[in-house]
Amino acid sequence: MKGQKRAKAVAKKKARSKKRERTDRARCGLCGKTGNLTKTECCDQWICDDEDRYVLFSYARNSCYRNHSRYTLCGFHYAEGHSGDWQNCQRCGDSFETEMYVYYGTNEYNFETLREVPDYEPTKCSKCNSVIVLGEGGYSTRGGEYFCERCADFDFSQL
């Protein structure tokens, strides 16, 4: 009986240890997965090593690595070779319209988001005046004008 109790106690201890071991493993900072990870070059965070899953010109958002490197100020700041922290980088701020700057600094592909988010007027369709969310796509531009998906289908020669 003592032997059975001891065996159960040892088994419980091993189970707790194994559970602790699983939670101590590196995880992707974006999706939480623990397999096939690498560190980002820009901010040294654990992330899925999955850029090879992206299909060229698909615009899919299925790669943690690609999403962080392409759709964040952190990734942009690093790729452009800017110095200092991306959160305080004037060159990054000057590189985008304010709406896109905010999107790149606050979206779900960031490990850390902008501390100070500037205000901006939403972008509107030049034809129907509906709000266009630049970070989500689904619009066309001509010159300095933006057109929603519905209005982008019209004949531009009429302008």
For residue range 113-136, what is the model confidence (pLDDT) as tens digits?
Answer: 999 999 999 999 999 999 999 998
The per-residue pLDDT for 133 is 95
DSSP H or E stretch at residue 14: helix 2-24
Cα(50)–Cα(56) distance, integer angstroms? 14
Residue 100 lies inside a defined structural domain of this protein: yes
The per-residue pLDDT for 139 is 93
For the chain, how many structural domains are there in total? 2
Q: What radius of gyration do the chain's Cα atoms show?
A: 23
Q: Are 73 and 104 in contact (CB under 8 A)?
A: yes
The per-residue pLDDT for 55 is 75
Q: Does 130 share its domain with 114?
A: no
Q: Is the pLDDT of residue 149 over 70?
A: yes
Cα within 13 Å of Cα(19), Cβ side: 6
Residues 136-157: what's their mean pLDDT?
85
Q: Does 110 share its domain with 153?
A: no
Listed in sequence order, the residues at least 6 apart from 102 whose beta carbon sits closer than 8 Å to its beta carbon are 114, 117, 118, 120
Q: Which long-range contacts (CB under 8 A, 24 or more apart) does 58-63 make?
A: 59/137
Q: Does 137 share its domain with 109?
A: no
Residue 70 lies inside a defined structural domain of this protein: yes
pLDDT digits (tens, 9 = 90+) for 36-83: 999 999 999 999 999 888 778 777 788 999 999 999 999 999 999 999
Q: Does 34 share its domain with 109?
A: yes
Confidence of residue 147 (pLDDT cuts 50, 70, 90): very high
Q: Does 58 share its domain with 88?
A: yes
Residue 7 lies inside a defined structural domain of this protein: no
pTM, entire model: 0.77
Q: Is the pLDDT of residue 7 over 80?
A: no
- Say how far residue 150 (Cα) sits from the centre of its chain: 27
